[in-house]
Structure 1
């Protein structure tokens, strides 16, 4: 099927080609001079590694291709516990982050990996130092760690034997020792992440590109294997580390193009039974191919409207079918049936059937995958993964690393007056918007701007079906082959999505006018233009639509983007959306109406017509008071959840920017006294009005405000809550039960593993948990909140005045809600590194 072929070619991990000649070439025993070409340096290294008792390497740079070539040899070093030190350079960003991640993944703590730190000197050494049981060798010459340098490249290297040249050998060792110990930066976890995040692919030196070309052009016999590359290597390393820290859920946020499905296939290899969930069957079909490429002999199955497979190692299921209650039960699928679950397009995870699946199954690990987290649009799916963002590479990083093509963005002034269109609950009235956008003057503006560029394949995003039909008709009547694509009954100018894509790829049409059908999922890599014909207030949708055209394709150097902008709500956010950076979007109020040039991806052009700058200025100056924004957002959340939101719901769905603002201003933070906020806005229910001003409300407010450097207080409060059967006194058994249940959840246990005194908590019994509780939360709650808590003998007690609320449903609901909100708040603050100490 054409769509599947497009997806396969654009998203699959590249095949790693292993040259049989490298493996089988006879290793010369006594050769000192190595010249490259057919005289591979790799063979000399391999022989030396087999004898080595200690290895030191100093090279100007490491490339992923070179580390991959040495992978089995490095594993041998690790298995034999041979000390290995590597000193490399980070000048000009030639060393690839993925190469460093791969070294660390293969060798773990057994390698001492460092960057040369003296920026005032050039760093071009290439030497490999091996010490044996008797004697040693130093290979010195021109070879860095890249596939080309170790194999076919014309690289000259010379071996200096320790025997007979001991003075020279020791001198090089001495200099290495000085450089390694005194002029280096340790590449630890923090440095690894920092380097990866800031790394931009060099413009002048593309050694790894040469390596890939050599692999593709080689005429030697090859074995094809699927191996992780680039961002996949980095993400796999972080996922492995996160699970080692106790996480049972994790989210990977990565721009289009890194191969997230292959990433999931690689990461799942150590798990026996896997579930892959998506919302379209085409995605599942392609995902199955990817998994089979990585896990060749696995038995797969599908669970959707047609097939209901079950007895397989990897099950690919539509969320619409599997999310039904009739399949989520112990008889059909036990809760622990799957060891590993992948949820594709995870930004949908807050929706009903996704939640049914996520809440029902209890896998060893759940992986969420998305290119654009809905976090930016107030539906905080980060909370579903307990704020465990394992790996992230956004639009800017992906373009800077050349995983995506750069874009040339043109913001074009559109004089449509949005002030005359009804705006309610964050949305424009669809019918009125449609009428305003479907006029010949605007269509002509769009067509004329389209004609300025020599686009062969354009994807255009419209507001409604009628709008897409109207635009397709307008273009066709003016001689530009076009069609509309949308769901439901098709009009005169509409075509089935697959048929339209095939025609676009074959150049039978030039433009597709779409309504939400291409926001996510399958892509057309050859697209060279996208046009936005609708007001886009959501960064998620904006980045999804932009990403449809950024995938790399032969002879495609950049993507043209035409965005037709009027005075619609939040139009002034577009310049910040283009950075693809949520942190820049948050800071927009402090950095003016436009981000700085360096905030945009490399080689990208951003051009707004002057009329738009005026609109951006007016909108920034007309910002509402924060109290008005809070109330407006409250009603938006209320409309979203279809009832008066509890604290946990409001915290989960609140506008991200707004939350960051009120968090810094405690007097405005509604989560520090939610009852007060509800009362001031006449939102308290009748049964809650009776609670207001009572000792019970004071207790709930204490939960909202109590400081939390750790989560220890929460299982104590859950013990008193006792699943709704509230207790005024709890004993050691109650404490043990609540703590054990709380910290058996991997996300809660992550902090326990990171602290020396609690790192072995998984082996704890009652004695250790009770000691932790008495030394920490019980002691401090009694001390700082003595009006509510006290210690009596071997029991920890609540003030008896709270006894009158034991059977009060409104009190119990708010008790539980306040505790759950504080746990989620802790996760969020932990992810952002701002928990109070």
Structure 2
């Protein structure tokens, strides 16, 4: 408690007297605002996960605001953590449906204040020995928590603090006088709310009617459909493309961003005499034609449809299904030049024979292809059909950031578990539709809810049988559902969609038929009851609900995560990160701040654990995965990719390729790419630079190699000047370490066998040069290109690291990396184990969650006592008087650094998160015993900075 008081005093001194005083971020007063990768929501989430109880006093609450916290509230409910929310009906902002959502929170008590002008915005969290407080401008709305320009102060206080005393007393007084929220209260409020709403709507309607009387024709034209930001940019790019003489172009645009309108605008700009719009499904034709009429004009005689039910082949603007148009009888009705402008919707399908037949027949002045997902797994090159002309590209993340799509709240929830068994790939139909699972599904979809007055949902199932059976069971439970599969006719599908829109149905259960090519903008809830087979299909299914619609503010996505091997694809799909780097995927699961706007991604803790298990247990660098990504990139670029191309095109992480093949040259040989053959030693050099330096964890070696590529001899003075120019740290020990790496003196005997016994560089008279063989290899263009490509990637990777000191907080390092970056003269990684003191420095390596079957002599109980205090165990058979323990205990006075490296479990491989330097907490060391009776020393360390909350929770939670 005394230490906590000191921390609090220091924090207040820093916040209100002298900002230069070093202080723990955990208690530091700070301003909370909403920035790109930092928002008010993240702090509230952190506090909820670590508090004992909480109270909110907020005037305004929206369904979307509640949605951002529902999965966390569910998780802490299981831990017995409860809270209270005080709100009101001020200005009738809070909707009746929102109050119904509040009643679903089992661990939250809600009351309504009748204070006139109730406008408070405060969040208080009670922790073990202190309180934290957020007060300012943010109500409990998704906009206020994520995107609005907000000012909130974050403070911490001990229980006896005057500020927290005032806030708590004010809350309790208001709480005692407030009305408990109940179903009966909501019914009464709903009547008053509707009456007030009807009155406002009447006034608005009268104003609009009055205004419409005075609208001139020019004003009416100004109110016509205008291109959105994406469409305007794409139209300009298409214009520039055609100015180069190009006759083909490809638009890659996320579902819901308005590709059909975009194409209509471009047709209007191009002004063709005859235009052909090709789709793969008849149900899209009428909608597309109606959209075109809005842009091009409403002269019906100019428009026609060519499909199974209509044959308007003489229309100026023809909308055709590929199945009908590809038939000889219809295709031969048109000369190759009949259409000036041809568009192909969902063009990723164009590798099919029917599409190719049509494309081969026609010769338009311009051909436009549109798709949200050009990626294919059959290696067909869509890009080549359009001469590799990507006119414009906008993916999901960018479209959300530009506010072009409906915001969504994604919930990764735990699928039904019975007797320790959870749904997986082998689960039988009987288990999938068991009454207990049906109830589990209903509970989750009710809890997470939907935006809007009427539920209109899609449920994606794993099989036709599951869709039909589950529909029957849900209907018995009072829901209105139907199942649609590929066996249903087009008429049946369209009829079901109409029933869903009118509210006569609440859910359509399906397998794959609604993955793409259908426009259902009123969908406000999507349920995923199947494993994720591919990130492409995942995004296609999610995209069914991303179109904006007047009856919804956001889309709810509920993904039931079972024990599936492919669970690792979920964070890949949501983030758009296709690096196949396991650490990247873990980070995208832990920290979802990459999602922009008011959208959020939420995982229940158990569901998150399933994803971690899938990441750990899956080989993401098989030759099949790597080869498919390589082919996709090669198709896109129309040339053999270099490693840096993978970075630029958001594809594989080059390190993943190198982990598999040890050099890119090896990889190209493995996939049988036709390349120039290199001497064996040249490949050894490529392997050494790839495996040692591609990660970019230290810039020093990279800069020396780069200098040696530019000139045969580099003086040490020139090298040091280059280091200074790049703003990195410089000392004799680091220079010697670089020299040791490149002369192979640092390396073990086994490494020297792999990399050859020759030093890569020759050091003479304060100068550096490559050895003679490398200098000869550099005359081979292909070898030089590969080396320069490696350096370019390594320099890019180095941007992730702090160049002013050896280690970067929360970056990952292996024991070998640590030996190198601490400038140890040799690689001692095989003998470090848990820790080792060398050259007055001690790195500690901790695997936080040990294997269940670990022997008692290794069952160390290392653990976080809080985000900034770590309890550590020495090796067994030691006591307080042991020399190596004394070295650590005296580190505070001797200024001998102790560095902490932690990984969650062995599934993370050989790399550990760097959590910073440690300070031994005085008088915390004591003798103890291991489970097998052997002696051990325990002590507590204070971290220089409390562990970032997302990393902290990732590490400590089972």
Q: TM (normalized to structure 1)?
A: 0.48
Larger radius of gyration: 2
Q: Answer 1 or 2: higher relative contact order, Cα 8 Å, separation at least 6.
A: 1
Q: TM (normalized to structure 2)?
A: 0.42
